[in-house]
Amino acid sequence: MRLKDKVALITGGAAGIGRATAERFVEEGAKVLITDVNEEEGQGVAGYLGPNATFYPMDVSDKRVVQKVIAEIVKGFEKIDVLVNNAGILRDGLLVKVVNGNLVKEMPEKDFDLVIAVNLKGVFNCTQAVAPVMIRQGGGVILNTTSIVGLDGNMGQTNYVATKAGVIGMTKVWARELGRFQIRVNAVAPGFTATEILASMPEKIIDAMRSKTPLGRLGNPRDIANAYLFLASDEASYITGAVLRVDGGIVVGT
């Protein structure tokens, strides 16, 4: 019961790593608040997890909506001990594709802007709304989802990599700014993890991911959730500004 009586807010909690983290936190005694744009899935997860889980529909890219939901949560639960900024999307594509010297395709601006809005600005919006709550209550934990590609880069992911590298930078800034208020800020960098996103990929690509991972397997969402659990708990009370790789030992691109 490492999170007994803690109130934890998890964005993007309707599926994948977010759902696994919500489940793990409930197991450890937390009251979990799940947010997502997918209301049907989010309500389903909260119902499955039982009375210690509550769902709130929320688009992290909309600052007004974020502030409204955070105010509602604080009114109902009086505090937020842990924020897990997990919500994120993919819109992969090459920066440019050139055939015989001719530009035939490029990453659409709308795909770049959308990923930035959710994966980077969304983390900013949620943290900016929750930080004053944590300051007033005397402390808290903020955990940001980055990725190994934010550290190593990856083909076809200009927009996604930009957001995940940006999240690492914000994590380090906020660890400095908020430390004096006893707020710890850390990031987790998952490797290739068997979530719904990977399920839609061709098997040969998944096999390639597996073969390049020294431990010989993909991660599962619970592997990542366990990292969040550790960083959220008092066992990590002297850890802030860190980026924890949970990746099976892979270095992208090798």
pLDDT tens, 215-241?
888 889 999 999 999 999 999 999 999
**At 253, is the pLDDT very low, low, confident or very high (cuts 50, 70, 90)?**
low
Q: What integer is the mean pLDDT of 13-40?
A: 97
- The topology (CATH level 3) of 7-245 is Rossmann fold (3.40.50)
pLDDT at residue 69, as a whole number: 98
Domain boundaries, the chain: 7-245
pLDDT at residue 99, as a whole number: 96
In this predicted model, what pLDDT tens digit does every residue of 30-77 receive, in sequence order? Answer: 999 999 999 999 999 999 999 999 999 999 999 999 999 999 999 999
Indicate whether 204 pLDDT > 90: no
Residues with a known catalytic role: 160
Count Cβ atoms within 10 A of the Cβ of residue 251 and give its class: 0-12 exposed, 13-18 middle, 19 or more buried.
middle
